[in-house]
Structure 1
Amino acid sequence: MARPKRQQERRAQLVEVARQIVVERGVLALRLTDVAKRAGLTPASVLYYFSALTDLLKEVQDQAVERFCSARAEAGREESDPRRRLVAMIRSGLPSGPDDELCRLLYELGTVARHDPAYAARYIDLCQRQVTLYVGILEAGAATGAFDLTDDVLSVARNLVVLEDGYGLHITMAVPTFDVATAERLLLGYAATATRCDLDPEVVR
């Protein structure tokens, strides 16, 4: 039996290998044999560390969700002006471009979430965590008078998260529908309308 430290290292290796393959080929093309071959193991050996390929992918998903949420929580944290925090938050929710690995990974794993309740639960958590971050920024802005919300704070926060997801998916498609600059401009436009506040990055400095 492998020692605990060795087990941990091997599990981490398999998670990284699976992550790489999902980003390269997509989750629907992932096979247990692909993971085993790249890791230098047999399929049976992979199943020693993860009882099924779906369990391995759940670990990939957990790590991706945590990385994304942690990065978003840091966006604009040091900004005292709620306008700048909101702009920073919006920017942090969009892919950096078509090849943004973390965003592509989350979108790919979202395919599985359409059919597996366990995966879907993680995406519900991902959504709720982002909504909570937006609610904090919007409430702070409303309290200081920087924002005059046109709708209840939860609705505005949810709309921002869903718009980010939609634009982000189109940015990372094989043939992008939007570029990052256009998506950011459209998101800021909605946020400006919803908060009755000028959020032009050239103004909000």
Structure 2
Amino acid sequence: MAKVDKKDIRRQEIVAAAQAVAARDGAEGATLRAIAAEAGMAANAVLYYFGSHADIIAAAVQASSGRFLEKLAEAADLNMTPTARLAAVICAGTTAGLDDDVSRILYEYWPHMLRDAEQRRIQEELTSAQERVYREIIDAGTSSGEFSPLLDPAKIARTLVAQEDGLVMDVLAGSATSEYVLDLVGNLAAALLGLKAEALLQLIAVRGGSVPAS
């Protein structure tokens, strides 16, 4: 039986506490003292497990990024047709992180990459991974004859990720609904890949991401 590493467990608890505080009170509210209180520890005790407050935040953002990518991977079932996979990943990319605050945490710390090299690394790796998911689907759809890309596939992948990133911020801010965002991204993807928008939007609706009538 594998030995339980109590230090690793405690680190995970601290990361979970940091995520909870950031989702509830924002990046500014996720102070060392607030995270320690959420974890039921003294602030100096928390630093026994992490070298600094910045290290805790980086671990929390990395964990949130990893969870988001897991949801994308779960959606991108290789047994589906490329068009169905595209619909599934659009749904996951725009809504998967909303049900458990993953997206909110990532967006809270997004501006930090302007000044923090570690935060920038995490965010850049997340974006690259999102792009790879789309690129693989686009390549598969092009090979099968389902897609007729109007631009270089890498540019299409980057465009779709950028649109998702900006539009999900609107959902979090309450200025747009998930349905509206799914409609926009679905229509954009269809136009860029030579698909009938109605067909792609229907697949998105089947995945549980209902979209408004055009």
TM-score between the two structures when normalised by the length of structure 1: 0.91
The equivalences for 1:3-152 within 5 A come to 5-95=5-95, 100-152=100-152
Q: Does structure 2 retain, via aligned residues, the 8 Å contact 1:97–1:180?
A: no
Q: Does structure 2 retain, via aligned residues, the 8 Å contact 1:72–1:92?
A: yes
Q: Does structure 2 retain, via aligned residues, the 8 Å contact 1:134–1:157?
A: yes
| Structure 1 position 98, deviation (Å) | 6.4
| Structure 1 position 162, deviation (Å) | 0.4
Change (3 A) 1:182 1:21: same
Deviates more, 1:184-193 or 1:74-83: 74-83
Aligned-partner SS, 2:94: coil
Change (3 A) 1:98 1:146: closer
In structure 2, distance between residues paired with 1:6 and 1:139: 45
Please name the residue that 1:197 is paired with: 195
Which ranges of structure 1 fall in alignment gaps of 5 or more residues?
Answer: none
Q: Does structure 2 retain, via aligned residues, the 8 Å contact 1:95–1:171?
A: no
Change (3 A) 1:25 1:121: same
Please name the residue that 1:165 is paired with: 165
In structure 1, distance between residues paired with 2:49 and 2:177: 40
Question: Identity over aligned residues, as a percent?
Answer: 26
Count of residue correspondences: 201
* Cα deviation digits, residues 103-130 of structure 1 (max 9, x gap): 1011112132221011101111000011
User: Aligned Cα RMSD in Å?
Assistant: 2.0
In structure 2, distance between residues paired with 1:203 and 1:95: 15
| Structure 1 position 10, deviation (Å) | 1.4
AA matched with 2:162: V
AA matched with 1:41: M
AA matched with 2:137: I
Q: Does structure 2 retain, via aligned residues, the 8 Å contact 1:13–1:39?
A: yes
| Structure 1 position 38, deviation (Å) | 2.4
Greater relative contact order (CA < 8 Å, ≥ 6 in sequence): 1
Q: Does structure 2 retain, via aligned residues, the 8 Å contact 1:95–1:172?
A: no
Which runs of at least 4 in structure 1 moved beyond 3 Å after TM superposition? 96-100
